[in-house]
Amino acid sequence: MTSMAREVLGWLRSWLYGPRVHRDMGFALGPRHDEGGVFRRTALFAAALAFLMVPFMTDAQAASGGPIKLVALGDSLTAGYRLPADAALPSVLERLLKAKGADVTVANAGVSGDTATGGLDRVDWSVPDGTAGVILELGANDMLRGTDPKVTEGALSAIIERLKARGIPILLAGMQAAPNLGPDYKARFDAIYPALAERYGLTLYPFFLDGIIGDRAQHLDDMLHPNRQGVETIAARMLPTVMRFLDGLRQGATR
C-alpha cells in the first residue's frame, strides 16, 4: 500500500472514530452519542476503503496473469468489410494467437472508410483504459483519395503521440501506394510508415496487404478488400510480428 493510501486511511479512521463537535451544542460527541450518524459514517468509510482497494485488486489481477488486451485501430481492412465478425482480422488474429498459447484478446476498433485523420478524431474513445497495446492500421483510404502524404503522416504521428502519452505501445501496420498514383506520390507515401516506426521506436509490420495483392482468390469482388481467405493470409503473415510485439509487452518494452 502506498504512503498516500495509508494517509487517506488514517484520515478516514480519525474521521469515523475521533471526537466530533455538535454544530449546535458546541461540545465533542463520540460515535456512540451521534445517533444515526455513525452508521452513515461507517457506510461511507466502507465505500471509501473499497474505492482505495480497486488499484490494488487491479494490480493483483494483472499479476495473476489475466489476458493481454489489444485493440486493432483501423479502417475497413480491420473492421472486416462485408465479412462476419469472426472472419474479421482482430478475431482471426486472436484465434491464431490463442492457438500459440497466448492469453490475449483483440478488440475490433475498425471503422470502414476511416482515414488517418478520422482515426485521430476517435482514438481517445476507441482505445479504452486498460489496453495493453494497439495494432494501428490506417492510411489506405488516404492513399485511395490521393491525400497529401504529409497530412497522413501528421495524423498518424498525432495518434502515436496520444497513445504513447497514455503508456500504450503500438504495432504499426504499414501501407503502400498503388503504382498508378505515380512514382513521386508512391515514394512519399510508402516512406511514411518506416519513418514513423524509426522516429517513435515502434514495432513495424511493413505492408498490411502482403501476400494477397493481385490475387483475385483472396479478395472480394471489388478487388480492394480481402475476403475470408485473404484475412486468414494477412493474419498468418502478421502473426510472427504480433507475437514479437506481445513478448515486448510482457517484458514492459515497446518494440
Statement to judge: residues 155 and 194 lie in one domain: yes
d(CA 97, CA 54): 30
Q: How many domains does the chain have?
A: 2
Tell me the percentage of the chain whose pLDDT exceeds 90.
Answer: 72
In this predicted model, what pLDDT tens digit does every residue of 207-220 receive, in sequence order?
A: 999 999 999 999 99
Bigger pLDDT: 63 vs 72? 72
Q: Which of 75, 76, 190, 219 is catalytic?
A: 76
Statement to judge: residues 155 and 53 lie in one domain: no
What per-residue confidence (pLDDT) applies to 56?
A: 35
Statement to judge: residues 109 and 31 lie in one domain: no
Tell me the percentage of the chain whose pLDDT exceeds 70.
Answer: 73
- The whole-number average pLDDT for the span 17-27 is 39
Q: Which of 24, 129, 221, 222 is catalytic?
A: 222
Q: Which of 57, 137, 50 is nearest to 93 (CA)?
A: 137
Statement to judge: residues 125 and 203 lie in one domain: yes
What per-residue confidence (pLDDT) applies to 65?
A: 60
List the domain range (segments joined by +) for residue 218.
68-250
**222 assigned to active site:** yes
**Last residue of one domain, picked from the residues 63, 83, 101:** 63
d(CA 172, CA 196): 9
| CATH number for position 139 | 3.40.50.1110
Burial class (CB in 10 A: 0-12, 13-18, 19+), 99: exposed
Residue where the block lists cell 515486448: 248
**225 assigned to active site:** yes
Give me the amino acid identity at 132: A
pTM: 0.75
Q: Which of 91, 126, 190, 225 is catalytic?
A: 225
Give me the amino acid identity at 242: V
What per-residue confidence (pLDDT) applies to 66?
A: 85
Statement to judge: residues 24 and 77 lie in one domain: no
Statement to judge: residues 107 and 179 lie in one domain: yes
Decide if pLDDT at 28 tops 70: no
Output b/e per residue, 216-232; b: 16+ Cβ within 10 A.
Answer: eebbeeeeebbbbebbb
> Is 255 within the bounds of a domain?
no
Statement to judge: residues 111 and 221 lie in one domain: yes
- The whole-number average pLDDT for the span 39-67 is 44
